[in-house]
Structure 1
Amino acid sequence: MSMALPLPQPEQNPRAIREALLPDDRVAFDAQYRRLMRQATDTLDLNPVLQMLEQWRVVAWSSQDPAAHRRMLDTVQRLDAGEDVPTEAWPDTKRRLGL
């Protein structure tokens, strides 16, 4: 079984993260970034901004394969709705992928 190379992570800056996001996610990113930057101006605490950027960096990384990303979001939505969705335990996934 051949393994695909790992996808590169987007750079760790707001512009690069935003550019790597799917268009649908950019609106949410912009709103959250602006809100947290206003909050950081008041509190002088950038930690919430940095945590938000790391979370969105993971989303941007996942978005490099838009179809797989949308399937994942659909699965999460179905699970949240209580649907019986076939899942696989992490050890089984690792074994299947040869990790």
Structure 2
Amino acid sequence: MTAQPHEPGHRPTPDEIRASLRDDRSPRAIRAALPVEDLDAFDRQYREAVRKAGDELDLTPLHECVETWWRHAVLKADPAEYVQMIERAEESQRRADLGEPTGGIPWDEAFEARLRSKAHKGR
């Protein structure tokens, strides 16, 4: 399955959208999977990345643009789920700004634990 326009009147499910993007990460497929409100921004940023890649003879900006928008398309496949994710992130940020616990562990503790785990596996 690829992210092609579907039959008129057929709204693909979030699972169909994600499956199509798993099989096809082309700019065309990504654009087809994006919500209408994101199309202008995608087109503008994609064209800018193509221009920059041509000017610099480096495809990195184009790859980064496509990867970023692929992630947007996957995340926004389910609009309600996306809104909930944003709301949870905003609430976590609000709590962090107030110095309240957010339910996670501090970054430095997580980093140290990862280093200890790698060191232990290396023995």
Partners of 1:9 and 1:83 in 2: CA distance: 35
For 1:70 and 1:88, the matched residues in 2 are separated by 20
1:29 to 2:16 alignment = no
Letter of the structure 2 residue corresponding to residue 55 of structure 1: T
Query: How far does the alpha carbon of each residue in 1:11-51 deviate from its partner, in whole angstroms, 9 at most, with x for none?
Result: 11001001111112222111111111111121111111111
Counterpart Cα distance in 1 of 2:85 and 2:39: 18
Structure showing greater radius of gyration is 2
TM-score, with structure 2 as normaliser: 0.55
Residue 79 of structure 2 is aligned to residue 72 of structure 1? no
State the identity %: 36
Map Cα deviations across residues 34-90 of structure 1 (whole Å, 9 max, x no partner): 1111111211111111111111111111111111112223444x358x523895549
- Please say if 1:44 is aligned against 2:47: no
Is the CA contact 2:27–2:66 (under 8 Å) kept in the aligned structure 1?
Answer: yes
RMSD: 2.8
Does the 8 Å CA contact 2:49/2:61 hold for their aligned counterparts? yes
8 Å Cα contact 1:9/1:57 also seen in 2: no
CA distance in 2, matches of 1:72, 1:18: 22
**Do the aligned partners of 1:18 and 1:29 also contact (CA within 8 Å) in 2?**
yes
Stretches of structure 2 that go unaligned for 5 or more consecutive residues are 1-14, 106-123
Query: 1:8–1:61: 8 Å Cα contact kept in structure 2?
Result: no
